[in-house]
């Protein structure tokens, strides 16, 4: 039986047919070919929260929002690089809410409604800033410092058993399947770009794998039996460019 390849990779249907033909040939009743899954143990995920919501008094809300803006702007620790992409919008929302509070005190026409809108807009950009900070804190030894340095609050630690990033052995020699959890914000999937790299010298040099708009990719032509390291990072308009994740070790066969 002949199998057509697309870009050097068998399609899923063709893979199943190939496995079945091998099983029939060898006389196996069940699939003898198993993908090797990189196992993961429970890990502690440290994430942050604003520590306040729109219900907070206007003056206190403004003070807290300004403190977060200043922390991300000054960046004393150097953690907030690349910068939050919506800093200009953040600054504008702070100015609008400040003016809205002043107008409300003077009881100007429609000032109450304008203040409510300005506060809602500022709260929205604060949530985006939180997502940005959490993306920097993800899988980072300095997670707590990244969060508190931005004048946000560390959530209670929770155990996560779902692995963010893994590598599987493909069905052909030298083939690796690289899989990530899809990028999310507030329970919604984001349109994102996924960047991938691997290293064959213990992480001294890194080789780019073509970026994708999906949370997975296939790498072929890897040297079989050579220990390798893999890592990934993401970019979205909402969260900006993340840092490279902690590399994982996997030997492709």
Kindly report, residue by residue over 36-51, the tens digit of the pLDDT: 233 333 345 678 999 9
Q: Mark whether 174 and 253 lie in a shared domain.
A: yes
Residue 244's CATH number:
2.60.40.10
Tokens of 156: 């209670």
Q: Mark whether 135 and 181 lie in a shared domain.
A: no
Q: What is the DSSP string of 129-178?
A: HHHHHHHHHTT-TTHHHHHHHTT-EEPPPEEE-S-SEEEEE-SSTT-EEE
In a domain, 40, yes or no: no
Q: Mark whether 29 and 91 lie in a shared domain.
A: no
Is the whole-model pTM more than 0.75?
no
Q: Mark whether 56 and 147 lie in a shared domain.
A: yes
| Model confidence band, residue 189 (pLDDT cutoffs 50, 70, 90) | confident
pLDDT of residue 8: 43
Neighbours of 169 (CB within 10 A): 20
Tokens of 3: 């199998």
pLDDT surpassing 90 at residue 11: no
| Model confidence band, residue 231 (pLDDT cutoffs 50, 70, 90) | very high
Examine residue 82 and say whether the peptide bond preceding it is cis (omega within 30 degrees of 0). yes
Residues 188 and 181: their CA atoms lie apart, in Å, by 13
Instruction: Read off the pLDDT of residues 37-87 as tens digits, 9 standing for 90 and up.
Output: 333 333 456 789 999 999 999 999 999 999 999 999 999 989 999 999 999
pLDDT of residue 17: 64
Question: Among candidates 189, 199, 175, 162, which has minimal Cα distance to 253?
Answer: 175
In a domain, 159, yes or no: no
Number of C-alpha atoms within 13 angstroms, CB side, residue 125?
24
Q: Mark whether 55 and 146 lie in a shared domain.
A: yes
Residue range(s) defining the domain that contains residue 190? 164-253
Q: How many domains does the chain have?
A: 3
| Model confidence band, residue 16 (pLDDT cutoffs 50, 70, 90) | low
Residues 101 and 145: their CA atoms lie apart, in Å, by 32
pLDDT surpassing 90 at residue 200: yes
Tokens of 100: 């809205």
């Amino acid at each position: 039986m002949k199998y057509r390849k697309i870009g050097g990779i068998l399609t899923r249907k063709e893979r199943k047919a190939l496995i079945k033909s091998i099983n029939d040939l060898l006389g196996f009743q069940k699939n003898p070919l198993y993908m090797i899954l990189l196992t993961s143990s429970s890990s502690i995920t440290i994430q942050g929260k604003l520590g306040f919501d729109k219900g907070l008094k206007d003056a206190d809300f403004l003070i807290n929002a300004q403190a977060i803006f200043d922390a991300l702007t000054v960046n004393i620790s150097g953690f907030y690089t690349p910068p939050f992409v919506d800093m200009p919008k953040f600054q504008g929302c702070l100015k609008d809410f400040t003016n809205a509070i002043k107008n409300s005190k003077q009881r100007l026409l429609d000032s109450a409604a304008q203040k409510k809108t300005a506060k809602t807009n500022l709260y929205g950009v604060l949530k985006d800033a939180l997502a940005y900070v959490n993306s920097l804190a993800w899988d980072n030894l300095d997670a707590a410092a990244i969060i508190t340095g931005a004048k946000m609050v560390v959530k209670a630690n929770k155990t996560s058993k779902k692995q963010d990033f893994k590598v599987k052995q493909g069905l052909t020699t030298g083939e690796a399947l690289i899989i990530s959890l899809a990028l999310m914000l507030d329970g919604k999937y984001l349109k994102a770009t996924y960047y991938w790299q691997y290293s064959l010298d213990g992480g001294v040099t890194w080789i780019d794998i073509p970026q994708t708009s999906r949370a997975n990719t296939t790498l072929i032509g890897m040297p079989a039996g050579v220990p390798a390291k893999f890592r990934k990072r993401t970019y979205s308009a909402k969260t900006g460019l993340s840092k490279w994740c902690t590399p994982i070790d996997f030997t492709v066969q």
